[in-house]
Structure 1
Amino acid sequence: MKTRHTLELADIKQIAAAAEAEALKNQWAVTVAIVDEGGHLLSLTRLDGAAPLSAHVATAKAHAAALGRRETKGFEDMINGGRTAFVTAPAIEGMLEGGVPIMKDGHCLGAVGVSGVKASEDAQVARAGIAALGL
């Protein structure tokens, strides 16, 4: 039997605060979603000015990153590269850049999804949140 790491409330708050700080530093109105390894929502923060739709998109990006154990940019690149059948993959949406898994020792603890600005900026905010954990 294995012992595994899991996100705790303090971790979630730390990720959310760091992601929010990165967004505010750049004056980006985004939504930040944090999910566990199964893609279940743990935290959702919609900053002032972020579009209501961004709450759905950020959550979907986080969910896809957690279930896929990879950045959602990889899904987007795969689809844009011609493997369009992948859009029919079951149980995942949000296959757009901006979802980043939280990995420790090769295991996925969850993911952060961000929506509201350019895709690369969404990913930047997600990575800043995860970096706060010092993994």
Structure 2
Amino acid sequence: MLTKLSIDNATAEAVIAAASERATAMGVPQNIAVVDEAGHLVAFRRMDGAKFFSIEIAITKAFAAAGTRKATRDIGPATQPGQPGFGAQALVGGRFTTLPGGIPLEAGGAVVGAVGVSSGSTAQDQEVAEAAAAYFSSRWGAGAPVADSQKD
């Protein structure tokens, strides 16, 4: 029997709230997606004013980060012609991107989900995704305080 950790809806909504807070502070409305470890959508928010065209991009960034277990900005070089990951987009039905703004979420030594952000510049998307991932890590990631209910 295999036991896996996975992000739940309440946690995903908290991650989205953290991302929304950063995006609001930046003045950049965003589409924010959180997926589970298998890339299935758990929660999504389209902030007022976010570009509708970026909805699927945010979801795809999260999907790619969960699937590769790497930040989307870090997987680009391996997908270039002549590299081992070239053609990966075609293998997953086009649901793959190397645009910045997708970051895996880790807890208990495993990827439990990912966040994807899109509607600003790639630098803005990355900044909002990093804020969301930092929030998650501070609450549930490595080094996060253990709740009394989790102690022996």
SS in 2 for 1:29: coil
CA change 1:81–1:94 in 2 (3 A) is same
Q: Which runs of 5+ in 2 are unaligned?
A: 142-152
Deviation by residue 1:57-92 (Cα, 9 ceiling, x = unmatched): 000110111111111112234345864434433353
In structure 1, C-alpha distance between the alignment counterparts of 2:22 and 2:134, rounded to whole Å: 11
In structure 1, C-alpha distance between the alignment counterparts of 2:82 and 2:58, rounded to whole Å: 24
User: Which of 83, 89, 93 is 2:96 aligned to?
Assistant: 93
Whichever residue aligns with residue 58 of structure 2, its letter is: A
CA RMSD between the two structures: 2.0
The structure number with the bigger radius of gyration is 2
**1:30 counterpart residue number:** 30
The TM-score, its normalising length taken from structure 2, stands at 0.78
In structure 1, C-alpha distance between the alignment counterparts of 2:101 and 2:44, rounded to whole Å: 15
**1:69 counterpart residue number:** 69
In structure 1, C-alpha distance between the alignment counterparts of 2:123 and 2:81, rounded to whole Å: 18
In structure 1, C-alpha distance between the alignment counterparts of 2:107 and 2:80, rounded to whole Å: 29
Identity, in percent, stands at 33
* Range moving further from structure 2, 74-83 or 108-117: 74-83
In structure 2, C-alpha distance between the alignment counterparts of 1:2 and 1:86, rounded to whole Å: 28
Deviation by residue 1:113-133 (Cα, 9 ceiling, x = unmatched): 000112122121112112222
Displacement of 1:49 in angstroms is 1.2
**1:11 counterpart residue number:** 11
